Amino acid sequence: MAEIAVLALGGNALSREDERGTIEEQYRNALAMARSVRSLIRKGWRIVVVHGNGPQVGNLAIQHAASSDLVPAQPLWALGAMTQGALGSLICLALREVCGDEIEGVVSVITHVEVSPDDPAFEHPTKPIGPFFGPDEAEELAETRGWHMIEDSGRGYRRVVPSPTPEAPVESGAIATLIEAGYVVVAAGGGGIPVVREGTTYRGVDAVIDKDFAAERLADASMADALVMVTGVPNVKLDFGTPEEQTVYNLTTDEAATHLAGGQFPPGSMGPKISAAIHFVERSPSERARIAAITTPELVYATLDNAHGAIEGHRGTRIKLPKAASIAANGGGPDVA
C-alpha cells in the first residue's frame, strides 16, 4: 500500500515577505511546491497538501473593511473560506500543470475544522494575519477598527486573531476516500474553517487555526505516514541567531520536546511546527513508525527519501521516535532511518 504524506505549506510560502502577493507571484511559488509533490509521487507517495493563509486572509480583511460603505464586510471565518477556495484553486492548477497525467487528478476540498467554544484562545488572540504596519498605523488600526496589534519579530506590527486548537476535520472521511482513489488532495486550507458544534450542525466562528496543527489533525485522521511542514528555512536550528547557532538534521521526539520546553522554538515561528511534529509522531500506530519533517519546498523529496538526502548532503530536519519506541512501533523489527 502506498505511503501517505501530508505537506503543510505556509501562507508565506505562497506570498513571500519580499513580494506584493500578486496572483502571478503566488502561482510561481505554487509551481515550486508542485515540483516537490511530483518528485514524491514518482517515488510512490500519496499526497495531501494543507496550506496556510495568514497573509492572504489578512489582506482580504483589509479590503472588506475598506469597502464596507459600499458592500457588507464579511466575518473572518467567511474570509477564511474565501481564501481556502482561491488558494486551493491556485494550488490545483499548479499541480495539474506540473504533474499532468502522472496523477489521477487533484481535488481541493473546502474543509471545516471543529474547535471548542470554550477554547481560551478566544480570549487571547495570538495568530498574526495580514501585512506588517508601522507603529503609527498599528495604533490607528487598533483605535478605529478594534484590531489587536502586536510587534512581530522586529519586522513591524501585525493584526492578531484567536487561534483555537483544532479538534477534528469535519470532512476527513471524504478526504480519505479521495486519497484512496489516487487523487492528490488539497484540504484544510488556512487551517480549515473554524466551526463549533451546535447539536447536529456547526456554526462558523471568527478565528484562524494554525495550519500546522490542522495538518497534524488531518494527517492523523488520514492515517498518514509522514507530516512535512514546508517553510522558508531548510532546517531546524538550535540557538538561532546566536554565535552558538547549529543546524539539526535529526531529532527524536524526546529531544524535540526538551528543546521546546527550554525555549528553543518560539510560539510565533518554529514552536507550532515542533509541537505538531511531536504529537503526530508519538501517535504512531503499533505497526509502523511515523516521521515528521521541517524543510523548504525544494528539499521535501530529499528529506523524506533519507538515502537520497544523505548522498546529496542536503536535506531538512526529520523528527522521529526514539530508537526503542521506533522498534516497538515496527513490530520489533529494525529501526527505520
Claim to verify: residue 278 and residue 151 sit in the same structural domain: no
Predicted TM-score (pTM) of the model is 0.87
> What does the pLDDT read at residue 311?
45
What's the confidence (pLDDT) of residue 331? Answer: 52
Q: Same structural domain for residues 110 and 240? A: yes
For 64, phi then psi, to 5°, come to -65, -40
**Which H or E run contains 59?**
helix 54-66
Q: Are 235 and 308 within one domain?
A: yes
Q: Are residues 93 and 131 in the same domain?
A: no
Q: Are residues 111 and 138 in the same domain?
A: no
**Does residue 140 form part of some domain?**
yes
Tens-binned pLDDT, residue by residue, of the chain (337 aa): 579 999 998 777 787 778 888 999 999 989 988 998 999 999 999 999 999 888 888 889 889 988 988 999 999 999 999 999 999 999 999 999 999 999 989 999 999 999 999 999 999 998 888 888 999 999 998 998 888 999 987 789 998 999 999 999 999 999 999 999 999 999 999 999 999 999 999 999 999 999 999 999 999 999 999 999 998 889 999 999 899 999 999 999 999 999 999 999 988 789 999 999 999 999 999 888 999 999 988 888 889 876 454 444 588 999 999 975 654 555 544 444 4
Catalytic residues: 11-12, 127, 211, 273
Q: Is residue 302 part of a domain?
A: yes
The per-residue pLDDT for 330 is 53
132 in the same domain as 59: no
- The answer on 173 and 240 residing in a single domain is yes
Please list, residue by residue across 151-171, b when 16 or more beta carbons sit within 10 angstroms of its beta carbon and e when fewer do. ebeeeebbbbbbbbebeebbb
State whether 139 and 186 are in the same domain. no
In whole angstroms, give the CA distance from residue 40 to residue 199: 41
Question: Within a domain: residue 337?
Answer: no
**How many angstroms from the chain centroid is the CA of residue 303?**
17
pLDDT of residue 291: 96
Domain check: are 66 and 154 in the same one?
A: no
Whether 264 maps to a domain, the answer reads yes
Q: Which residues contact 327 (CB under 8 A, 6 or more apart)?
A: 333, 334, 335
Q: 142 and 282 in one domain?
A: no
- Length reported for the chain: 337
Q: Is residue 220 part of a domain?
A: yes
Helix/strand/coil for 9: strand
Residue 273's CATH number: 3.40.1160.10
Residue 15 and residue 136 share a domain: no
| Residue 121 located in a structural domain | no
Count of domains forming the chain: 2
Please say which residue of 161, 184, 214 terminates a domain: 161
DSSP string covering 186-203? EESGGG-EEEEEETTEEE
d(CA 156, CA 158): 7
Same domain, 211 and 247: yes
Can you state the angle between helices 54-66 and 76-99, rounded to 10 degrees? 130
Q: What is the pLDDT of residue 231?
A: 86
Q: Does 16 reside within a domain? A: yes
> Is residue 146 in some structural domain?
yes
CB atoms closer than 10 angstroms to residue 109: 19
Which triple of cell numbers denotes residue 54?
495568514
Domain range enclosing 233: 4-116+166-329
